[in-house]
Amino acid sequence: MNADQLRERMAALGPEPKITPPRHTWERHCFEIRKHCRNDRISDFLQWSTLIGTMFVGDVSYIRDEFNALMADGMRYWKNAVEEPLIGNPERLPYWPWTSGNLIHQAYHLLRFREATDITLDIVGDVVEFGGGYGAMALVAQRLGHREKWFIIDFPELLLLQEYWLSNAGADMDRIVFLPQLEKPGGCGLIVGMWSLSEAPMETRGRFVEAVSGDSYMLAYMSTWLGINNDAWFALLREREPDVQWASAPAARGSFYLFGRRE
């Protein structure tokens, strides 16, 4: 997909809301992404304010700690996975200019997942990612050896951004499936939801966990979101899956990881 095709397909999604959606909701972020796509340079899309504010992590303080953790683990393993494509004109790290803070961030999630579960991506079956950002996790995972299908469930605007970025970043597009609806019935090897499930309405979360179960889980969340008690909701998720061995750990910005492996 090229930039003109992205602009055309974004415009073809249908009419925009007549009333601007509330701030800090994903409906509002998608509304703003349409405006960016219409008015701003697509070649610089990783510098759009909405992308910076929601899904692209730059050179912030905790990225240095995550970078050091990857180095300590063995950067020869991670180096290819975090090499930043040119597409989107991303901000690079000044101390490692062939990568970005965001690709380091994605790789660090996978490092923590492996430490908690002893699972590497080369042995994981199909993956269902709820909320895929602009596609960074899917690309890093492929580079680390994941060979099965990677399903991304997201808003149509974000699915288009993911298709644009991944198709220009060297991803194997035959193994990526973009889903505008929640259902991918049955089981999968891994469920990924990095802050996304915790920022979805309760009804949406419920439908998702009814539709999909995983052999393993890689999740992250903040304790509250728009008045929702996420600590309580993720505790209920753990109770719902009693045969999963769960592990919780602190994450960036006062958030928490929740990793699981089915016994």
- What is the rounded distance in angstroms from the CA atom of residue 108 to the CA atom of residue 112? 6
Q: Under CATH, what is the fold of the domain 118-262?
A: Rossmann fold (3.40.50)
pLDDT at 185: 59
Q: Can you read off the two tokens belonging to residue 163?
A: 């298709």
pLDDT at 17: 84
pLDDT at 150 over 90: yes
| pLDDT tens, residue by residue, 130-143 | 999 999 999 999 99
In this prediction, residue 10 has a pLDDT band, given cuts at 50, 70 and 90, of very high
When the pLDDT of each residue in the chain is averaged and rounded to a whole number, the result is 95
| pLDDT tens, residue by residue, 156-186 | 999 999 999 999 999 999 999 999 877 665 7
pLDDT at 261: 97
pTM over 0.85: yes
Ranges of CATH 3.40.50.150 domains, the chain: 118-262
What DSSP string runs through the chain?
Answer: --HHHHHHHHHTT-PPPSSPPPTTSHHHHHHHHHHHHHHS-GGGGGGSHHHHHHT---S-HHHHHHHHHHHHHHHHHHTTTTPPPSTT-PPPBTTBTTS-HHHHHHHHHHHHHHHHH---GGG---EEEES-TTSHHHHHHHHTT--S-EEEE--HHHHHHHHHHHHHTT--GGGEEEESSS---EEESEEEEESSGGGS-HHHHHHHHHHEEESEEEEEE-SEETTEEHHHHHHHHHHH-TTEEEEEEE-GGG-EEEEEEE-
pLDDT at 155: 95
For residue 12, which phi and psi values (nearest 5 degrees)? -80, 0
| Better-predicted residue by pLDDT, 180 or 260 | 260
Neighbours of 233 (CB within 10 A): 17
- Please compute the mean of the pLDDT values over residues 8-15 and round it to a whole number: 93
- Please compute the mean of the pLDDT values over residues 98-117 and round it to a whole number: 97
pLDDT at 221: 97
- Bridge-based pairing state of the strands 228-229 and 212-214: unpaired
Lowest mean pLDDT among 51-65, 182-196, 229-243: 182-196
- Please compute the mean of the pLDDT values over residues 144-167 and round it to a whole number: 97
